[in-house]
Structure 1
Amino acid sequence: MFRTVLPGPPRPGILGKIRAWWGGWPLGQLAFLLAVAALGALFVGNVLETMARIGILPGFGFLSSSANFEIGESPIAFRAGDTYLRAILAGLVNTLKVSLLGCVLATILGVAVGVAGLSRNLLLSGLVRWFIEITRNTPLLLQLFFWMALAKALPAPRQAAALFGSVFLTNRGVYIPAISLEGGPFGLAAALGITALAAVALLLFLRAARRLTRQTGSVALALAVAAPLAFLLLSGARPEAEMPALSGFNIRGGLNLSPEFAALLTGLVVKFAALIAEIVRAGIQSVGTGQWEAARALGLHDGQIIRLVVLPQALRVITPLTTSSYLDLTKDSSLAVAIGFPDLVSIVNTTANTTGQSLEALIILIGAFLTINLALSALMNLYNSRVALRGTRR
């Protein structure tokens, strides 16, 4: 018995695809776009005319000019007389430093607080609830002012007590132990970079070869970490711990976190840890009670249940919302200008005031934050897609 197969609807051609993409009312949309373009051209024309009238040449040539200001805290070498480009680069590195540390520390603290909030201990869960509500319902700028005032109220170095024997909280900053590599051709940053690249390369190779399991992944990561460090040690480098100690009227050695940086980092971590804690709580509670009961039936205690059963499933809820928190933390780091930390916004603002190139400075600022946030969002979306595929696999 034969069946007649009728042809399906014809596939749309190029014009049909363009019409579907453009949508309805094409003339109205075209008129709207032309009106927006005309307004933009009028705005740009007025700006260029104003700049020409006051003697400012448009463009980014000012980046190669000398910046006649100092930067209080710069992760790269900078002094008055260096170019504006180098000054902006120093501010960008400051922003990246506080954003990266803030995301890592806020995640650690937020997960711990979120899990503690689900405790059966009424005192602990109550304290967590008060912490979250107070932190979430007060402005971040107000919190930064509080942490900055607290940092300035700390004792002078000679009167500061050593916490755990090696941490000093003073009005000149926070002093903590530091680790450095001495005697070799590379520094600690290069060692960490080589280690990270080797670990990623090995894991990607095993992943492509489809041989990556929990056991082989752990062994591969250990080898990737050990091999570059062994190479550096064989080259003559030796890790040395620098402990801060009181010397005269100040503290020498170790790593010094300025009061502005410490206040900014603390404010960002505390604020967004509270938000991440609520996200973690919601993600854990989204997992059905049957999962808990099945895990308890297998003899797992609560810590193992959360780590092995609940959190892997809750990540499908936690990851997208945590991505938004990371983006907000990066953007809110711009509030550093209010407490005197020389981040990207502060240095670009100074550049605009001293050169008069306000429009170009704003373009640089917008482009930098867009690049940082889009890169962070792409990485988190990649991780989220992997978590979602694992969660839906049967």
Structure 2
Amino acid sequence: MTSRAEDPPWWRNRRLLPWLVQGVAALVVAVVVAFLLSNLLINLTARGLLLSWSWLGNPAGFDISETLLPFDASLPYWRALLAGLVNTLRVVLAGLVGATVLGTLVGTASFSSNGLLKRLARIYVELIRNIPLLLQLVFWYFVVFLALPKGSAAIQLPGVVLAQSGLFLGSPELVNGVWRAPLSFTVEFGALLTGLVVYSAAFIAEVVRGGVASVARGQWEAASSLGFSSLQTLRRIVMPQALRVIVPGLNSQYISLAKNSSLAVACGYSDLYSVAETTLNQSGRAVEVVLILLGSYLVIDLLISALMNGLNGLVQLKER
């Protein structure tokens, strides 16, 4: 009968040691956070600026140029911040859709048999990715959208009018030199959305290109031998397999787009950050406003991450 081997000492126990390391790390983080919070409260108390949220009910005293929610200066601060949040969600959702479509088209164009199309796709990706987003937003707003013609000289298509005052859809009509339509978007929104879509699509195109490249060449050849066209092969054979590689990469790009929307101030668009900045200047509640900003963007990013993680679980291969 063999004797049972003695258990190793704790500093060599491969099961216990990782838990101990994580416990020590968590304790250090907790101590640092407690120290920072204590220091913050001491400094705020010394200046008579203890955290308070009652000011959110005070009249804002400023207007918001563009919002889906009815708002005027007599409404409270919380309503202004909510209107800014809705504006942010509006441009983020539209940007995610637009950037995904454009990025997918550019990414798949890298595998086109047309040499010119392939080169144009590569030029687009390399050019856009290496120019700061802030400069691109300034370009779209001041150079492109504000240079559009006014009044009757606006760009007019069936059911669509593009003018310096905005984009008008439905049945646009010119009333006293001003375009009116059932659905309209300001140039500020248009410039921000265009900049975010064009910039983010360049990164998404690389994610898509990497995903498509991960599919074995034999898949293309097998589909071709069965009489599939290049488009049919891409849509029915390659992309379903490439999604396993593409979706995790899209997660980080979608989160980056949501965070980049805070640069809307460059276009004069009233997003959450812009409204929060005005609120801070009006109320003087810097800590509370910053906490609201941090919490809002954190929740948006966590929601995107959760949805993309769920989608990633659906596209992964299930082994028996």
Q: Residue 115 of structure 1: CA displacement?
A: 1.2
Q: Which of 18, 34, 37 is equivalent to 1:40? A: 37
Question: Superposition RMSD on alpha carbons, in Å?
Answer: 2.5
Structure 1 stretches of 4+ with a deviation exceeding 4 A read: 6-10, 17-20, 28-33
Partner of 1:208: none
Q: Which residue of 2 aligns with 1:213?
A: none
Match in the other structure for 1:155: 149
Report the 3-state secondary structure (helix = DSSP H, G, I; strand = E; otherwise coil) of the residue aligned with 1:23. helix
Please give the alpha-carbon distance, in whole angstroms, between the structure 2 residues aligned to 1:290 and 1:146. 44
Selected match of 1:315 from 243, 248, 257: 243
Aligned residues, how many? 313
101, 105, 108: which one aligns with 2:98: 105
Structure 1 residues 45 and 7: alpha-carbon distance in aligned structure 2, compared to 1, 3 A threshold: same
Aligned-pair distance for 1:40? 3.4
* 1:48–1:58 Cα contact (<8 Å) kept: no
Distance 1:320 1:44 in 2: 40
Q: CA deviation at 1:250?
A: 1.2
Superposition map of 1:274-313 within 5 A: 274-313=202-241
1:1-394 equivalence runs, <5 A: 21-23=19-21, 26=24, 30=27, 33-34=30-31, 37-50=34-47, 52=48, 56=49, 58-149=51-142, 150-163=144-157, 165-177=158-170, 243-388=171-316, 391-393=317-319
Cα drift, residue 44 of structure 1: 2.5
- Listed one character per residue, the Cα deviations across residues 164-198 of structure 1 (whole Å, up to 9, x for unaligned) are x2221111111122xxxxxxxxxxxxxxxxxxxxx
Counterpart of 1:118, as a letter, is: F
Distance 1:25 1:393 in 2: 34
Distance 2:319 2:29 in 1: 46
- The normalised TM-score by structure 2 is 0.91
**Deviation of residue 281 (structure 1)?**
1.0
> Matched residues in 1 for 2:33 and 2:219: separation?
54
3-state DSSP of counterpart to 2:208: helix
1:48: Cα distance to partner?
2.8
Q: For 2:179 and 2:242, how far apart are their aligned partners in 1?
A: 45
Tell me: CA distance 1:84–1:278, structure 2 relative to 1, closer, same or farther (3 Å): same
Q: Which moved more, 1:28-37 or 1:41-50?
A: 28-37
SS of aligned partner of 1:333: helix
- In 2, distance between residues paired with 1:18 and 1:346? 49
Matched residue SS, 2:148: coil
Pairwise CA distance, 1:313 = 0.5
For residue 376 of structure 1, report the CA deviation from its aligned partner.
Answer: 1.1
Tell me, what secondary structure is at the counterpart of 2:310? helix
Aligned partners of 2:267 and 2:90: how far apart in 1?
17
Give 1:126 shift: 1.2
Distance in structure 2 (CA, Å) of the matches to 1:354 and 1:329: 29
For structure 1, the residue ranges without an aligned partner over 5 or more in a row are 11-16, 178-242
- Confirm or deny: 8 A CA contact 2:56 2:77 kept in the other structure: yes
Shift of 1:336: 0.3
Larger relative contact order (CA 8 Å, sep ≥ 6): 1
Q: Which amino acid aligns with 2:123?
A: W
Which whole-Å deviations, capped at 9, do the CAs of 1:218-259 have from their partners, x for residues lacking one? xxxxxxxxxxxxxxxxxxxxxxxxx11223301122311111
Residues 41, 50 of structure 2: 8 Å contact kept: no
- The answer (yes or no) to whether the contact 2:154–2:164 under 8 Å persists in 1 is no
TM-score of the superposition, structure 1-length normalised?
0.74
CA distance in 2, matches of 1:25, 1:71: 48
**Letter of the aligned partner of 1:37 in structure 2?**
A
